[in-house]
């Protein structure tokens, strides 16, 4: 089975302006945070966490925060740590090539 690409666009690797006020608008603000930290290899748990992010109005801000602060654990903005690591590497490569 082919995995669906993350539908969020990373526009910055910096924490969003205004601190973490975006969290007040997050779809997960009343969800048990433990759901976003499934055990390694728990495909069902990862899927459940990612599903919580679908349709979130601030998923892009969440993802930008996670990449910008190098969050190495948990599901942030609908992405796993590995997905964020690849996004960050690609972003940094693009910056080097542009600079």
Model confidence at 49: pLDDT above 50: yes
Q: What is the pLDDT of residues 65-78, one digit of tens each?
A: 998 888 999 999 99
pLDDT above 90: percentage of residues in the chain: 58
User: Which parts of 5-99 fold into alpha helices (H)?
Assistant: 43-53, 59-68, 81-98
Model confidence at 99: pLDDT above 80: no
Kindly state the DSSP code that residue 79 receives in the 8-state scheme.
Answer: B
Q: Provide the pLDDT for residue 79.
A: 97
Q: How confident is the model at residue 19 (pLDDT cuts 50, 70, 90)?
A: low
Cβ neighbours of residue 65 closer than 8 Å, sequence gap 6 or more: 15, 16, 20, 22, 71, 76, 77
CA gap 69, 99 in Å, rounded: 22
């Amino acid at each position: 089975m082919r995995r669906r690409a993350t539908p969020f666009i990373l526009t910055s690797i910096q924490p969003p302006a205004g601190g973490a006020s975006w969290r007040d608008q997050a779809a997960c603000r009343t969800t048990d945070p433990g759901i976003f930290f499934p055990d390694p290899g728990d495909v069902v748990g990862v899927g459940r966490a990612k599903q919580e992010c679908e349709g979130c109005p601030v998923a892009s801000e969440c993802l930008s925060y996670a990449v910008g602060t190098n969050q190495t654990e948990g599901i942030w903005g609908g992405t796993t740590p590995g997905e964020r690591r690849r996004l960050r590497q690609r972003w940094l490569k693009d910056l080097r090539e542009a600079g």
